[in-house]
Chains A and B, each alone.
Chain A
Amino acid sequence: MNWPSLRKSNGGPPSSNGRIIEMNNVRKVYDTGKVRVEALRGIDLSVAEGEFVAVVGPSGSGKSTLLNLLGCLDTPTDGRYLLAGDPVADLDRDGLAEIRNRRVGFVFQNFNLLPQLTALENVEMPLLFGGVGGRKRRERARDLLERVGLGDRLEHKPTELSGGQMQRVAVARALAMDPAVILADEPTGNLDTTSGVDVLTLLSELWRQGSTLVVVTHDPALAERAQRVVEIRDGLVVADSRNGSTSH
């Protein structure tokens, strides 16, 4: 696969000193009044710019909670979290929305495309919320879709696309605002093997172009491709290993 880079490539696997994610002793407690669940019990995690991190662990280990916190969909009960150098703990809902818009790109297991919008409009969505003007927005969305190989599917609705194509639209959408980090939650979980490999290759390619990726997954193939694997169990980081070599 070969395409023009979306962000400035550092040339090969990046080795920036910039810390995109900095979590210290982050805890998350769900308190419904009757039941008190401690989902995260003191996570320390730091992700450098340009890293490709896979987060693995059994269900109920707190992976999704961690991803929600990383993506500013939720705020920690306790602890410190810096996203691209900015503390996000004290932001209000609109402040969090803005952070999500500018700093985070989400890729979901079930794609979460808006069904009544075309592929192009779906990719335009974050740009719209980011206040990008009409023509620029359209151009950027078209560019991105061409880059993920869907230049001929611009006006298709999600229902007219295959699973792999939908996920590629979602990736294009995640890239729209040029975020500091792309967070993916089981991006291959709903795809057949071939499409899964396609999306994996796409993500790896992004990483090579300089994107920072954090992927929650059960998929060994995906974890294998990552530069670094973080294992969560019972709300704690129990292992943090680097894959010696990464194959692309």
Chain B
Amino acid sequence: MARPLVTWQLFLKASSLQRKRAVLTVAAIAWGTVAILMLLAFGQGLREQLMRGRRGMGENIAVVWPGETSKIWEGLPTGRAIRPRMEDIEYLRHRIPDVRFVGEITSWSTTLSYGRKTITGRVTGTNWEYGDLRNHYPQPGGRFLNPLDEIEKRRVAFVGDAMAKEIFGSENPVGRILQINRAPYLVIGVMQHKLQMGAYGGPDEDHVVVPITTFSAQLGRQRLNNIVFKVDRPGQMVGAIQRFRQVLGKKYRFDPQDKQVLGIWDTVRGARIMDNITIGIRLFLGIVGALTLLVGSVGVANIMYAVVKEKTREIGVQMALGARRGWVTGPIVMQGLVYTLLGGATGLLIAVVLVMLIGLVPTAGNQALEFLGKPTLSWPIAAATAAILGTLGILSGYFPARRAAGINPAETLRYE
């Protein structure tokens, strides 16, 4: 039908009078759109960095510390220290086969030397599966510990990337001999850099990992400083923790309900809390952005009110000539929508360019920037912004249009 086309023509004629004001309003909407998009993009970037950082330590894992009993159990007193031993890892693997266990023996102030360089650092003796559980991935040209290293008690070492830089400088550490407490270890790999947010003992980039068997033999220690275990899916964690307490409780004779015996850090639970926090942050950013946009569309509504006011007589004339309400309100609603969407499109363009430019800023080495993350635009963000823009656009035209439809032609046509 010809109607929409003509409505459009009427709209163009009406809007040409308001050009300057229209430009300002479109700019306001564009600014609002940039604001909401950038805020949401930063929210998204932050969330992605947090998720990566959280995974840095390992996914779906729990970390266990030894402790003391706080409940009387089978006639045994409280205050007994429970210190799992190396062989308990095999014992646990045997009894809880669907959960993966590794043990850790940690030595905090160990002398590490290479050539003339000597430092004091942290060394962790652990099982070869640790690499996978705790996300220790080797840089190209190296490897993590393997089963033979553990069985044959080889003197091999996997070095965190920060520590590698500290000891070896610009040299490639792989293949060099690192003295650990004056015993020579062959460096077999350096850890890939990773963003890590959770840690115990210290960040992974700052320690050396050696086979637990080798380390135990060198230090003469059997007791584990930590046990780490991993489940396949987050939902299995609660059950896994329960069975873990029962199995060790039977062996070491403590109450499985006694939470003091073994301190357990359940990262799955922490992740859930972190998820809720990031949802809250993003919601907050979204609301702030939407409010900025709202200010812009109040401007649009304002223009449209002005248009209606200026054109009251003309609208009255149109009504007298037989314009139905739709004829009067249609162009106004459309104009509001067009201004809003035009501003939105401009804003989107600016935001995309900004995100790209920020993406070019190097963040490696700058921890603040690394953790703030990079703003990331995504389809859900675009969809949400479009939905908000559309709604605001229609509303910013709807209310002025309603006023226009309420015009009484008899009153406006009276000659003054």
Question: Taking each of A97, A98, A113, A130, which has the highest tally of chain B beta carbons within 10 Å of its own beta carbon?
Answer: A97
- Of residues 79 to 122 in A, which have CB atoms within 8 Å of B's CB atoms? 93-94, 97-98, 100-102, 106, 108-110, 112-117
Asked whether A133 lies within 8 Å of B317 as measured between CB atoms, the reply is no
- Which residue on B lies nearest to A75, using beta carbons? B410
B322: contacting residue among A97, A112, A114, A189, CB under 8 A: A97
Asked whether B327 lies within 8 Å of A185 as measured between CB atoms, the reply is no
> Hey, which chain B residues are within 8 Å of A97, CB to CB?
319, 322-325
Asked whether B410 lies within 8 Å of A98 as measured between CB atoms, the reply is no
Asked whether B409 lies within 8 Å of A73 as measured between CB atoms, the reply is yes
| A interface residues, how many (CB within 8 angstroms) | 35
Q: Decide: A94 near B2, CB < 8 A? Known: A73-B410, A73-B413, A185-B415.
A: no
Q: Is B246 an interface residue (CB 8 A)?
A: no
CA distance A131 to B327 in the complex (A): 12
- Which residue on B lies nearest to A173, using beta carbons? B321
Q: Is A51 an interface residue (CB 8 A)?
A: no
Q: Is A177 an interface residue (CB 8 A)?
A: yes
Q: Is A38 an interface residue (CB 8 A)?
A: no
- Of residues 157 to 181 in A, which have CB atoms within 8 Å of B's CB atoms? 173, 177
B410: contacting residue among A68, A131, A189, CB under 8 A: A68
A177: contacting residue among B14, B17, B319, B322, CB under 8 A: B322
Q: Is B16 an interface residue (CB 8 A)?
A: yes
A114: contacting residue among B317, B319, B410, CB under 8 A: B317
Q: Is B23 an interface residue (CB 8 A)?
A: no
Asked whether B322 lies within 8 Å of A126 as measured between CB atoms, the reply is yes
Question: Shortest Cβ distance from B138 into chain A, in angstroms?
Answer: 74
Question: Shortest Cβ distance from A74 into chain B, in angstroms?
Answer: 5
Asked whether A129 lies within 8 Å of B323 as measured between CB atoms, the reply is yes
- Which residue on A lies nearest to B327, using beta carbons? A129
Q: Is A6 an interface residue (CB 8 A)?
A: no
Q: Is B414 an interface residue (CB 8 A)?
A: yes
- Which residue on B lies nearest to A132, using beta carbons? B2
Q: Decide: A100 near B2, CB < 8 A? Known: A114-B314, A186-B415.
A: no
Question: Shortest Cβ distance from A62 into chain B, in angstroms?
Answer: 13
Question: Shortest Cβ distance from B276 into chain A, in angstroms?
Answer: 52
Q: Decide: A101 near B415, CB < 8 A? Known: A73-B410, A114-B314, A116-B13.
A: no
CA distance A95 to B251 in the complex (A): 90
Asked whether A100 lies within 8 Å of B318 as measured between CB atoms, the reply is no
CA distance A110 to B408 in the complex (A): 18
Q: Decide: A64 near B323, CB < 8 A? Known: A112-B313, A116-B16, A134-B2.
A: no
**6 A/B residue pairs, CB under 8 Å, sorted by A:** A71-B320, A73-B320, A74-B410, A112-B313, A129-B318, A131-B3
For the complex with contacts A74-B408, A114-B318, A128-B6, 14 further pairs of A-B residues with Cβ separation under 8 Å are A71-B320, A97-B322, A97-B323, A98-B322, A98-B324, A101-B321, A101-B323, A113-B317, A116-B16, A126-B322, A129-B321, A129-B327, A173-B321, A185-B413
**A-to-B contact residues, CB < 8 Å:** 64, 68, 71, 73-74, 93-94, 97-98, 100-102, 106, 108-110, 112-117, 125-126, 128-131, 133-134, 173, 177, 185-186, 189
